[in-house]
Structure 1
Amino acid sequence: MAECQDLLEIQLASETNNQPKQKHIITFMDRKWYNAAAEGRINQFKDYTEPLDLLRTANKNTVLHVHITAVKKETEESIEFVKLVISKCSSLLVEPNIKGETPLHIAARFGHKNIVECLVDNIKKAQHEDLERGAEASISEKMLKTTSPDEDTALHEAVRNNHPQVVETLIRENPEFANIANAAGESPLYLAAVRENNSIASKILEICPSPAYIGPKGRTALHEAVISKDKDLTRKILDKNNSLTKEQDKKGWTPLHYASYFNLIPIVEMLLADDNKSAAYIGDNHERKPLHIAIICGKSHLKVMKKIMSDCPDCCELTDNRGRNILHFAVESGSFKGVQIITEEPSLANLINQKDKEGNTPVHLVAAFGFEECSLTEHHLVDIKAVNNKNLTALDVVLERKDESYEPLGFTERDLRRVGYKRGRPLVQLKEREQAKIDDKFISELKKASKSHQIVATLIATVTFTAGFTLPGGYNQDGHDEGTAILTRRSAFKTFLITDTLALAFSISVMLIHFLLTLSRNKRKFFFLFFWAFVFTIVAMMLMMVAFMAAVYAVMPHSSSGLRAAIWVIGSCLALLCFYMLKVTLPEI
């Protein structure tokens, strides 16, 4: 007995003398038997006469657990070893380890199909023998025994580790496997769907008459099939149980909500087919319907929006818990194509001036968000004078805005004057609001850029100033023209003098402007001065380039016409590049 199992007793004395000593028994398997079980050495166990259920590792694994875990590839020898162990101690079939895992769980986890079949056959045989002896025994209870604390069945293990053959073996032997959820609330079918394993999910649907579809957070296998964008699995689940289209998760979303969100038009068509249209009328926790979700997602989801509106036209009348209809949602999401589609539908004319719980019509939202190119303000049915719960019209909302101008919203200056007069606000305040468009953050960025611009302007001024006293070609040393430039009569030299002087003037102007910027407290004036300083800097750079080309051209002999032409071409390209940069930048500013 000492050969098959060693028991080590450790007595731990408490630090307190009054407390009794505690005794812990640590179990371990002798190396000889552990290695024999792992390697499947049948001969070593044939003559073993002691009870095999006493051979346990520290984690309470039996020789059956050890062998099945160690098997890399199933062979006839491994099957024979399992049969031998079972014949010597049949109770090991359902004996759990410290985690509550039976040998069937281990075999299913590693995909040992033949071992699974062997274990199932022996469990059934043991069931028959128990019944013959008159004992009450349940094959379901033995085979479906779950692990702790995860409460996974052997089928969960096979599905999670993607072993379709083992899955088929288990559910054919006992379809009840497919009806059990683990501690996380995952049914085997849900687990297959969430892992996008179509073949296993299809096999469960094919064999089991009524499998469980449940999953955590209120989701079902159909939810996960839609989220995985699996059209084939979605169709198979719907064929088996189309009532799942109405199931809501913890957010209140049905599969149709997810199909609308992910823009899955083929799946939307499946979910709305036949008698499933009621799913379009189910709201989530905020009473948002699938149609609302499609509209929120913008113009990319217009096909889904049109499909739901076509199949369930009366769901267009439904609102969310804020009282907002689909036109409110279209405006709120910036889907102006959606606005156009809705407003062009005669049967939806009532939505144009419908108010939400705050009294805002869709036009109030247009005014609040400052959307451009929105056709709603031009619609002939729009009531622009409608007031919300704060007694504000859409035009009043425009005036309340502090970061956008009124011009893109389709309201005339005459309208604004009328509203401004009614509310005692002069139109001058609009100019102040326009000035607020240039916010403090933008001005601070310009102030940082101003320092680098000053350095550039100073360099240009230094170079052009120096060039004015070191003229190309030099000076006359004798005669009545002593001290004058030698190349005075050349056109290129005259061009050099003019462009160099202009470059110096522009660069000094830039330096002066940046000096004035430090004294400016008006945002609009600051931006105006910074803009012209930027333009003058670019112009000064272009003039400096032209002055350089003219100076080089003036001192080159006529015999070097090819070199002179090359210099002009290079210089012209650089000047054109500067001009192009200026042209591109000015509209953005």
Structure 2
Amino acid sequence: MRLQHHQVEEIMDTSITYMDRKLFKAAKDGDMELLFNKYKGGLDQLVDGEQNTALHIYSTGGGREVTIIRILRRFCLSTRFEIRREVSMEYLKQLLDRCPRLLRQANAKGEIPLHVAARHGRRKIVEFLIKRSKEENVELEQMVRMTDNDQNTALHMAVQFDDNFQVVRLLLKEEPDYLSNSVDTRGITPLYLAARRGFFCSVDEILDKNYCQPRALLGSHSRTILHAATLANSEQTVKIILKSKKHLTKQGDEDGRTPLHYAAVSGYISVAKALLQSYDGSAAAYLTDKEKGMTALHMAALQGDIAMMKCIISHCPGCTGIVDKRGWNFLHFAFLTLHHARDISRDELINYHFIRNFLYHKDVDGITPSHVSRYGPHSSSEISHPVWDEKSSQVAENKTKIEQVLQEICKIEVAGILVRDFNDIPDAATDVSYKRTDEKIRQTHLLVATLVATVTFTAAFTVPGGYKSEQGTALLCHNAAFKVFIITDSLAFFVA
């Protein structure tokens, strides 16, 4: 239930008093002397710039400051000081005794104190507010169901922080059915929010109540809570969801991409293993997306992620032969992304005996993975094709088609993440320029090496003092310094 603007106006009088520094501090610290005795106006009229009342402010992070000293004895004695705020139930009681309408008074964002306390994990305050609403015969259901301007319930607020699961438990105890299935203006449920952040304790609390309808499992773009947990790279959240919702492993988003697709693109190995080890997980490896007909293995190959490819293949070897809409198998994609420096990774792939067969599988244009390896952006001549003619007129045509595929791949996104960005790969003209530059550098290095060798040999065979022409021996052959020179010169020649 959303608190309408006209309802807020009924609660609040037009004569508003804005808090000064002293009143704000009194509201935050729970200073009853200043707030109740020296301030003479109505507490519902005392607000800050965002229309927060004293109860809102106290629920945010108020209380008396308490210093806690912790002595740690793990490896060595050390002292740690923590400053916490101690909640005063007496202050809260007197605040609502003097102005009961504060319980449901909203601020400028439409948030009542329960929303604020839930968001900040103030379990004791949430517990007090719920108890107080029951004592005053205020309809608890109405208060717990209230939403802010964005249709967020108190449960939406609570699941946004990891250590708030106790608040989540309190709220679900009162209204499990309604709160579990409530949606904000974006159509997002508290369960989806918790999964997207990887807060497995809150996810476990909500799923444990078993009140979630199918709609509660979905977020934007038809992504499920399992997609959300995968994006959060939370293995524990994924495992908790799979306990009761195994079927979600095969459920795709609006583009037909499963959580395994998401894990493959993001490189989340532990999450991918958790998905593949579930009952329906390996079946998800066979599923293709709507746009290009790509499997999770194809997307892992596009990333050049050998570990992810081996993970998927080890759990589901049968998916290796699946081709996309253009007829490309995963080796086509792998050879697009694996560099010369990573040819050992290529060897890792083709050493699987059943994978070597895919090296010469043709797509709709007759292009094989070995063609891509030879003429792709990281081309290599180490993997040859038995019938590929270097001088054939098809070479230029197929190289053009490979470049077209690269352009298409650059546009593919999964959950806003580019599957592969080939902008760092030089085009054909630039590649030729690079090759020419490399050739010039090699020639320069060769020239320098030749000069160094010439100087070295000249120095090695030039003897100080000259020779005796009739005997062919050095004039200084009996000189001690000359002998030292011969030894050092020989060493220098050997090293050169």
Aligned-residue Cα RMSD (Å) equals 4.3
Out of 372, 382, 394, the position equivalent to 2:381 is: 372
- 1:67-146 aligned within 5 A: 67-69=58-60, 70-71=62-63, 73-75=84-86, 78-126=88-136, 129=137, 137=139, 139-146=140-147
**Pick aligned residue for 2:205 from 171, 183, 203:** 203
Tell me the equivalent position of 2:365: 358
Distance in 2 (CA, whole Å) between partners of 1:276 and 1:344 is 22
Residues 370 and 383 in structure 2, CA contact (< 8 A), matched pair in contact too: no
- Distance across 2 between alignment mates of 1:343 and 1:125: 72
Rate the CA distance shift 1:109–1:309 in 2: closer, same or farther, 3 A.
closer
Kindly provide the amino acid, as one letter, of the partner of residue 196 in structure 1: G
* Equivalent residues in 2 for 1:547-566, closer than 5 Å: 558=479, 565=484
- Rate the CA distance shift 1:548–1:355 in 2: closer, same or farther, 3 A: closer
Whether the aligned pair in 2 keeps the contact of 1:254 and 1:279 (CA below 8 Å) is yes
Q: Does the 8 Å CA contact 1:280/1:291 hold for their aligned counterparts?
A: yes
Residue aligning to 1:273: 278
Which of 188, 191, 195 matches 1:189? Answer: 191
* Contact preservation (8 Å) 2:249, 2:280: no
Contact (CA 8 Å) 1:159, 1:167: kept in 2 or not? yes
The answer to whether the 8 Å contact 1:180/1:188 transfers is: yes
Cα contact 1:26–1:58 (8 A) shared by 2: no
Distance 1:40 1:236 in 2: 41
Question: Pick from 303, 306, 324: which aligns with 2:313?
Answer: 306
Q: Deviations over 1:159-195 (max 9, x none)?
A: 3333333233223333243433444555433333343
Matches of 1:393 and 1:439, distance apart in 2: 17
What is the CA–CA distance in structure 2 between the aligned matches of 1:62 and 1:207, rounded to whole Å?
34
Structure 1 unpaired stretches of 5+ = 1-23, 131-136, 379-383, 386-391, 404-435, 450-526, 580-589
Q: Secondary structure of 1:341's match?
A: coil
User: Please, which moves more after superposition, 215-224 or 58-67?
Assistant: 215-224
Moved more, 233-242 or 51-60: 51-60
Counterpart in the other structure of 2:257: 253
Structure 2 CA distance for aligned equivalents of residues 551 and 344 of structure 1: 71
Contact 2:331-2:359 within 8 A present in 1 as well: yes
TM-score normalised by L of structure 2: 0.67
Question: Once the two structures are superposed, what CA deviation does each residue of 1:552-579 show, in whole Å capped at 9, x if it has no partner?
Answer: 9988994558xx63x66665555445x3
Q: Which residue, out of 292, 300, 303, partners 2:298? A: 292
Name the CA distance, whole Å, in 2 between partners of 1:214 and 1:554: 97
Q: Residue in 1 aligned with 2:50?
A: 59
Larger mean CA deviation between 290-299 and 278-287 belongs to 290-299
Q: Deviations over 1:73-132 (max 9, x none)?
A: 4536x2211111212222211211112222122222333221111012123334xx25xx
> Could you list the per-position Cα deviations for residues 323-348 of structure 1 after superposition, in whole angstroms to 9, with x for gaps in the alignment?
32345445545545434537568xxx
Give the conservation status (yes or no) of the 8 Å contact 2:230–2:271: no
Question: SS in structure 1 opposite 2:159?
Answer: helix
Alignment pair present for 1:42 and 2:32:
yes
The AA in structure 2 aligned to 1:59 is: E
SS at structure 2 position matched to 1:155? helix
The answer to whether the 8 A contact 1:226-1:234 is kept is: yes
Q: SS of the counterpart of 1:248?
A: coil
CA displacement at 1:288 relative to structure 2: 0.4
Corresponding residue for residue 540 of structure 1: 454
Offset from partner CA, 1:134-170 (integer Å, 9 cap, x none) = xxx5x34422323334x44333333333333323322
Distance, in Å, in 2 between the alignment partners of 1:439 and 1:241 is: 54
- Report the count of equivalent residues: 411
Q: Give distance in 1, aligned partners of 2:461 and 2:361.
A: 68
Among the aligned pairs, what percent are the same residue? Answer: 28
With structure 1 as the length reference, what TM-score do the two structures score? 0.58
Bigger relative contact order, structure 1 or 2, given CA contacts below 8 A and separation 6+? Answer: 2
Counterpart position of 1:15: none
- State whether structure 2 residue 243 is matched by structure 1 residue 239: yes
> Could you give the per-residue CA deviations for residues 249-291 of structure 1, whole angstroms, max 9, x where no partner exists?
4554311123444262774464453345542332223210123
Runs of 4+ with deviation above 6 angstroms: 399-403, 551-557
Q: 1:140 to 1:280 in 2, by over 3 A?
A: farther
* Deviation at residue 536 of structure 1 after TM alignment: 2.3
Provide the rounded CA distance (Å) in 2 between the counterparts of 1:327 and 1:536. Answer: 44
